[in-house]
């Protein structure tokens, strides 16, 4: 292979993945920028670990939002319904004295039904998703107040202490160690093992994919570049697990996010359901003519969103120790912004799960960093708005080129 | 053979001075990364002339027109462009429009929900100043312009209530409102019926008398011969030559376009009719607005034959087949038998599972997801059969797509190329691949060669023959009469929602089919 062709491949692959690279670059710039501005506090293992936990809620919502937006719709209700689900869970444990698992199951069921309800009106009654979910955004904010009598429901109000502890673990707990208790600053054995497992699984998957592509004559990066890319990703993964491992280990909610990301990536990239969602968003007429049941798929997307909203509600309530009437306010906007920053096209038919997660990290990093700097809330909102505009503008500009 | 002609004015009487060209391009070279789209093209347009531009897809017609209209700004190409004797530096489309060159694309630039008058003055509304619209002036001027293009509608009528042919004329009225001296028409009749096309051509002749010149791009060669004063043939980004109309016939044009002689435009095969596969009885279709679209349709389709379906657009032919597959309207009555089994398809997916496939007439709208790649488009209608453990079996998916890519000769850089970047002919092949992957018993092709160049057309015809030989029932709906006669074994002719008649292709003539399609069979026109 000649030198020029090698460079061409590199250039080509760079151009194809430019959006992902710029996103990751932007994230690093933000991190090191805040690291500098906060004199390193932002980059401490403690803060980064916190940051990841904070990201969990937004990331879960953003992943669901990818499905909805890819299918050509939008969900404005996720903030309110997430708050409602959280309140319902706490309510069931306080007032009805349910234990953790039943109340979580109830919450997941209710969330799923709310999603299906949206899907029904959008798919079968042809009401624009914007309107259906706007209605829910208002209605469920009211329902939260009705359910909680306008009170903040703290987890300490749960009569059964074990129930409360178990519930809290979802938002505040860490993976237990194999051996003795470890302190902050010591290596957390089980987290590192989990990291190792992930690394091996990743390397194996990547290798298999490369072999399959070669077999079918599809273009692949030259071997050294593949190795370089794999090393970079493994390196980033190691840093991530090292941060977690140095600080109390992997939180449960991060394991949940990773599992969801894996499952939803599978759905979007490998399942019939996912492929059909992309086709519907890309060209609904062609999808219909190809025998795709658009209504059922739309219903499916909203139902999955509902389940994810319920999960996000549980995680955020468990993390914040309470269900409040304002829980989840503006969460829909963070979720949409994360998806869009992550490359999801509001025109439908385009978007990735991993992009949404990076987008969620960007949004949460801004929140976290600006709070650490004690920045005036006025500017926090303005800056977040500006970043969203800039991200989409950069995306549009790179598409044109 | 044909000799090359320099610029000449076909109507110049002897002794008269040759008029100088209105528009002239000289040695135009346009490069895209990796491709030279135009390599020194020369072209000129005389005042009051209709000049046809023909060539296969990818020959450079569209690129040349985009240069003329300023879409590719001055400086992005080499060579010279002059209009009315002055060298032009168009930097954007507005510049060329101001000079009087207006391009009308295949996809019309009109707003469906606005009135004809509003559409005509879109972007240059008649105002009283300060951006306030002068409606009286708008309606009167629009009325005049509509009359000039032969439309009798009120300017207040909404565009969506007009047929595609009428919309095309509205687009021409719009360009006249911009004082167009040169009209560039890109495949203006691709979506029109024969009748509407004839009307358009007569309007263009009228405008020529009024001094409007026209560059006419079309794959329909008989139209080109009917209307053009001169014809320029492009091939591979180069001018093959410019010829007065009288010097060319269709076959010669095709030979110049493809650079070789195509002896037969239709690869006809003799074959024997086999078993009856599809039988439709008393089928009556209601449109979504409750209008009767098709009434008492009776027909059968057999193995071993191509069933042609002809008729004017709006005669209910496409609607019938979409309705049969559960894609459109309501079925009021009728029975359908597939392989002797009565069927009523509840949904498109049901029809596809039972072995029906429909290649729609509008491939970009109904056929393809343009942002998806070749593999994904190919598998789109067969996904449920390509799964393993609930996941798409990527291995099989790619193998199938690869097989069709080779079999149908889909030209692309790789299977992962988005279909939006393919040429029309290759896009159509991807749509075909998608339906062939469903292994249909009955394949319905609605306008399978619309907007596709001669070479790719021929390949699609060969694929159709091959499918018939393999036992697939092929039904071809087409507005192109010579194609219907050339490819079908038997032809159904639709007229106003009914089957006006059935003819064997061997006995069919264009006049006879046209007469049936227009309901004038009693007195077939003979000219």
- A4 close to B (CB below 8 A): no
**A322: enclosing H helix or E strand:** strand A322-323
CA B13 to CA A17: how far, in whole Å? 63
Question: What band does B424 get if pLDDT is binned at 50, 70 and 90?
Answer: confident
Percent of chain B residues past pLDDT 70, beyond the cut: 94
pLDDT at B32: 74
Interface mutation target, options A217, A283, A289, A346, chain B, most CBs of B under 10 Å: A289
pLDDT at B493: 94
Most confident of A162-166, A247-251, B311-315: A162-166
Q: Per-residue pLDDT averaged across A299-314, rounded?
A: 98
Residue B379 to chain A, least CA–CA distance (Å): 10
Q: Which of A114, A24, A30 is nearest to A328 (CA)?
A: A114
Q: Per-residue pLDDT averaged across B51-74, rounded?
A: 86
**B309: enclosing H helix or E strand:** strand B306-311
Chain B residue with minimum CA distance to A348: B371
State pTM to two decimals: 0.83
Q: Which of B368, B381, B402 sits opposite A291 (nearest CB)?
A: B381
Do A155 and A167 touch, CB atoms closer than 8 A? Answer: yes
CA A43 to each of CA A338, A355, B476: distance values in angstroms, whole numbers, following the listed order: 21, 22, 67
Region of A118 on the Ramachandran plot (φ > 0 left; ψ -120 to 50 alpha; else beta): alpha
Round the average pLDDT of chain B to a whole number and report it: 87
SS3 B263: coil
Residue A260 to chain B, least CA–CA distance (Å): 17
CA A156 to CA A160: how far, in whole Å? 9
Question: What band does A165 get if pLDDT is binned at 50, 70 and 90?
Answer: very high
Chain A residue with minimum CA distance to B384: A272
B11 pLDDT more than 50: no
A254 pLDDT more than 60: yes
CA A27 to CA A66: how far, in whole Å? 19
**Taking CB atoms and an 8 Å limit, are A279 and B369 in contact across chains?**
yes
B17 pLDDT more than 60: no
Q: What is the ipTM of this complex?
A: 0.89
B262 pLDDT more than 70: no
Phi, psi of B5 (to 5 degrees): -115, 140
The pLDDT tens digits of the residues spanning B163-221 come to 878 888 898 899 888 888 999 998 888 777 777 888 889 989 999 998 899 999 987 88
CA B94 to CA B74: how far, in whole Å? 13
B232: which DSSP letter?
A: E
The pLDDT tens digits of the residues spanning B284-293 come to 999 888 888 9
**Taking CB atoms and an 8 Å limit, are B392 and A216 in contact across chains?**
no
Q: Per-residue pLDDT averaged across B46-62, rounded?
A: 86
Phi, psi of A186 (to 5 degrees): -105, 160
Pair of tokens at residue B345:
């398809």
**Taking CB atoms and an 8 Å limit, are A283 and B391 in contact across chains?**
no
pLDDT at A399: 67
pLDDT at A2: 41
B525 pLDDT more than 60: no
pLDDT at A18: 73
- The single residue listed with the structure tokens 């960093």 is A369
CATH code for the part of the protein at B25-100+183-188+213-260: 3.40.50.300
**Taking CB atoms and an 8 Å limit, are B383 and A285 in contact across chains?**
no
CA-based end-to-end distance of chain A: 28
**Taking CB atoms and an 8 Å limit, are B352 and A272 in contact across chains?**
no
- Determine how many CB atoms are found less than 10 A away from the CB of residue A216: 15
* A331-341 and A78-94 helices, crossing angle to 10°: 130
A178 pLDDT more than 70: yes
The residue ranking higher by pLDDT, A14 or A401, is A14
Do B321 and B374 touch, CB atoms closer than 8 A? Answer: no
- B225 close to A (CB below 8 A): no
CA B71 to CA A358: how far, in whole Å? 38
- B439 close to A (CB below 8 A): no
Q: Per-residue pLDDT averaged across B335-360, rounded?
A: 93
Percent of chain A residues past pLDDT 70, beyond the cut: 94
Do B138 and B119 touch, CB atoms closer than 8 A? Answer: no
**A15: enclosing H helix or E strand:** helix A3-16
Domains B25-100+183-188+213-260 and B275-355+441-449+472-527 share a fold: yes
pLDDT at A275: 96
Alpha helices in B133-236 (DSSP H): 135-148, 164-177, 194-209, 221-227
B524 pLDDT more than 50: no
B124 pLDDT more than 90: no
Q: Per-residue pLDDT averaged across A220-237, rounded?
A: 86
pLDDT at B260: 66
Which residues on B lie below 8 Å from A13 (Cβ)? none
Phi, psi of B259 (to 5 degrees): 80, 10
Q: Per-residue pLDDT averaged across B360-368, rounded?
A: 91
Question: What band does B2 get if pLDDT is binned at 50, 70 and 90?
Answer: very low
B6 pLDDT more than 60: no
Q: Which residues of B192-222 are buried (b: 16+ CB within 10 A; e: fewer)?
A: bbbebbebbbebbeebbeeebbbbbbbbbbe
pLDDT at A3: 44
- A149 close to B (CB below 8 A): no
- A286 close to B (CB below 8 A): yes
**Taking CB atoms and an 8 Å limit, are A218 and B351 in contact across chains?**
no
Of A218-232, A261-275, A331-345, least confident by mean pLDDT is A218-232
Question: What band does A361 get if pLDDT is binned at 50, 70 and 90?
Answer: very high
Q: Which of B152, B117, B147 is nearest to B134 (CA)?
A: B117
Contacts of B203 (CB under 8 A, 6+ apart): B149, B150, B169, B172
Question: What band does A314 get if pLDDT is binned at 50, 70 and 90?
Answer: very high
| Residue A34 exposed, middle or buried by CB count within 10 Å (0-12, 13-18, 19+) | buried
A342 pLDDT more than 80: yes
A234 pLDDT more than 60: yes
CA A276 to CA A349: how far, in whole Å? 10
The residue ranking higher by pLDDT, B415 or B423, is B415
Residue B391 to chain A, least CA–CA distance (Å): 5
SS3 B82: strand
Q: Which of A289, A291, A350 sits opposite B360 (nearest CB)?
A: A289
SS (HEC) of B336-381: EEECCEEECCCCHHHHHHCCEEEECCCHHHHHCCCCCEHHHHHHCC
Max intra-chain CA distance, chain B: 83
Q: In chain B, what are the domain boundaries?
A: 25-100+183-188+213-260, 275-355+441-449+472-527, 364-439
pLDDT at B341: 93
Most confident of A104-113, A380-389, B504-513: A104-113
How big is the A-B interface in CB pairs under 8 Å?
84
B523 pLDDT more than 80: no
- A206 close to B (CB below 8 A): no
Which residues on A lie below 8 Å from B368 (Cβ)? 283, 286
Question: What band does A7 get if pLDDT is binned at 50, 70 and 90?
Answer: low
B131: which DSSP letter?
A: T
Instruction: Please say whether the structural domain B275-355+441-449+472-527 has been given the CATH code 3.40.50.300.
Output: yes
- A285 close to B (CB below 8 A): yes
Do B230 and B4 touch, CB atoms closer than 8 A? Answer: no
Q: Which of B185, B91, B196 is nearest to B518 (CA)?
A: B196
Q: Per-residue pLDDT averaged across A15-33, rounded?
A: 83
The pLDDT tens digits of the residues spanning B433-479 come to 999 999 999 999 999 988 787 778 889 999 999 999 999 999 999 98
**B299: enclosing H helix or E strand:** strand B292-302
pLDDT at A116: 98
CA angle B63-B68-B69, nearest 5°? 95
The pLDDT tens digits of the residues spanning A51-91 come to 999 999 999 999 999 999 999 999 999 999 999 999 999 99
Question: What band does A10 get if pLDDT is binned at 50, 70 and 90?
Answer: low
Q: Per-residue pLDDT averaged across A252-260, rounded?
A: 95
Q: Per-residue pLDDT averaged across A356-371, rounded?
A: 95
Residue B16 to chain A, least CA–CA distance (Å): 52
């Amino acid at each position: 292979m000649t030198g020029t062709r090698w460079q061409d491949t590199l250039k080509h692959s760079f151009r194809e993945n430019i959006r992902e690279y710029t996103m990751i670059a932007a994230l690093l710039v933000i991190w090191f920028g805040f690291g500098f501005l906060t004199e390193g506090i932002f980059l401490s293992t403690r803060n980064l670990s916190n940051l990841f936990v904070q990201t969990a809620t937004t990331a879960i919502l953003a992943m669901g939002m990818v499905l909805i937006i890819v299918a050509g719709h939008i969900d404005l209700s996720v903030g309110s319904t997430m708050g409602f689900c959280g309140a319902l869970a706490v309510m069931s444990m306080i007032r009805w004295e349910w234990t953790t698992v039943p109340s979580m199951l109830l919450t997941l069921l209710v969330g799923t039904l709310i999603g299906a309800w949206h899907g029904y009106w959008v798919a079968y009654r042809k009401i624009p998703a914007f309107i259906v979910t706007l209605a829910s955004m208002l209605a469920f904010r009211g329902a939260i107040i009705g359910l909680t009598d306008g009170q903040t429901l703290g987890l300490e109000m749960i009569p059964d202490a074990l129930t409360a502890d178990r519930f809290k673990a979802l938002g505040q707990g860490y993976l237990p160690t194999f051996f003795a208790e470890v302190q902050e600053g010591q290596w957390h054995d089980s987290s590192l093992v989990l990291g190792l497992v992930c690394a091996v699984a990743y390397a194996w998957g990547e290798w298999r994919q490369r072999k399959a592509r070669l077999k079918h004559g599809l273009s692949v990066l030259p071997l050294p570049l593949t190795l370089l890319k794999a090393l970079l990703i493994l390196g980033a993964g190691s840093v991530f697990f090292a941060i977690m491992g140095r600080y109390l280990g992997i939180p449960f909610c991060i394991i949940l996010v990773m599992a969801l990301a894996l499952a939803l990536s599978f759905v979007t990239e490998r399942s019939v359901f996912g492929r059909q969602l992309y086709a519907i968003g890309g060209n609904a007429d062609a999808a219909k003519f190809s025998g795709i049941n658009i209504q059922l798929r739309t219903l499916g997307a909203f139902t999955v969103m509902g389940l994810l909203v319920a999960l996000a509600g549980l995680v955020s309530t468990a993390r914040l120790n309470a269900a409040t009437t304002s829980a989840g306010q503006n969460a829909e906007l963070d979720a949409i912004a994360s998806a869009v920053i992550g490359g999801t096209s509001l025109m439908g038919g385009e978007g990735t799960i991993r992009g949404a997660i990076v987008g969620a990290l960007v949004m949460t990093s801004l929140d976290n960093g600006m709070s650490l700097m004690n920045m005036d809330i006025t500017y926090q909102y303005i800056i977040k708005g500006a970043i969203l505009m800039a991200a989409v503008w950069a995306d549009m500009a790179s598409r044109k080129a | 053979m044909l000799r090359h002609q320099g610029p000449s004015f076909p109507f110049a009487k002897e002794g008269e001075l040759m008029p100088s060209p209105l528009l002239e391009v000289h040695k135009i070279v346009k490069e895209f990364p990796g491709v030279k789209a135009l390599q020194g093209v020369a072209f000129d347009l005389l005042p009051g002339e209709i000049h046809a531009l023909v060539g296969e897809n990818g020959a450079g017609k569209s690129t040349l027109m985009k240069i003329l209209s300023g879409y590719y700004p001055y400086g992005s190409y080499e060579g010279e462009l002059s209009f009315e004797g002055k060298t032009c530096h168009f930097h954007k489309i507005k510049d060329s429009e101001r000079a009087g060159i207006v391009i009308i694309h295949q996809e019309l630039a009109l707003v469906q929900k606005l009135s004809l008058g509003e559409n005509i003055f879109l972007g240059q509304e008649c105002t009283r100043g300060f951006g306030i619209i002068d409606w009286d002036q708008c309606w009167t001027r629009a009325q005049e312009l509509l009359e000039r293009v032969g439309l009798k509608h009120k300017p207040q009528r909404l565009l969506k209530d007009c047929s595609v042919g009428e919309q095309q004329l509205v687009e021409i009225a719009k360009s006249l409102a911009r004082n167009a001296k040169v009209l560039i028409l890109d495949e203006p009749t691709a979506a029109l019926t024969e009748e509407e096309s004839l009307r358009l051509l007569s309007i263009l002749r009228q405008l020529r008398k009024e001094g409007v010149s026209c560059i006419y791009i079309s794959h329909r060669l008989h139209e080109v011969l009917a209307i053009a004063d001169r014809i320029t043939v492009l091939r591979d980004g180069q001018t093959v030559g410019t010829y007065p109309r009288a010097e060319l016939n269709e076959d010669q044009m095709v030979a110049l376009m493809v650079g070789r002689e195509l002896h037969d435009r239709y690869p006809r095969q003799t074959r024997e009719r086999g078993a009856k596969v599809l039988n439709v009885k008393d089928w009556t279709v209601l449109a979504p607005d409750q209008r009767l679209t098709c009434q008492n349709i009776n027909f059968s389709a057999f193995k071993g034959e191509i069933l042609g379906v002809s008729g004017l657009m709006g005669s209910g032919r496409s609607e019938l087949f979409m309705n049969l597959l559960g894609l459109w309207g309501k079925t009021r009555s009728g029975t359908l038998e597939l392989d002797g089994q009565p069927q009523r398809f509840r949904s498109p997916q049901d029809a596809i599972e039972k072995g029906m496939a429909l290649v729609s007439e509008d491939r970009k709208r109904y056929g393809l997801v343009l942002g998806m790649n070749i593999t994904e488009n190919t598998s789109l209608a067969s996904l449920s059969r390509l799964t393993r453990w609930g996941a798409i079996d990527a291995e099989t998916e790619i193998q199938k797509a690869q097989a069709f890519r080779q079999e149908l000769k889909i030209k692309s850089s790789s299977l992962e190329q988005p279909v939006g970047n393919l040429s029309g002919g290759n896009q159509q092949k991807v749509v075909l691949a998608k339906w062939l992957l469903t292994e249909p018993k009955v394949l319905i092709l609605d306008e399978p060669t619309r907007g596709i160049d001669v070479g790719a057309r021929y390949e699609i015809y060969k694929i159709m023959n091959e499918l018939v030989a393999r036992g697939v029932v092929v039904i071809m709906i087409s507005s192109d009469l010579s194609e219907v006669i050339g490819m079908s074994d038997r032809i159904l002719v639709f007229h106003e929602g009914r089957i006006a008649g059935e003819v064997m292709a061997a006995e069919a003539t264009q006049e006879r089919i046209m007469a049936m399609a227009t309901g004038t069979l009693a007195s077939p026109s003979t000219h």
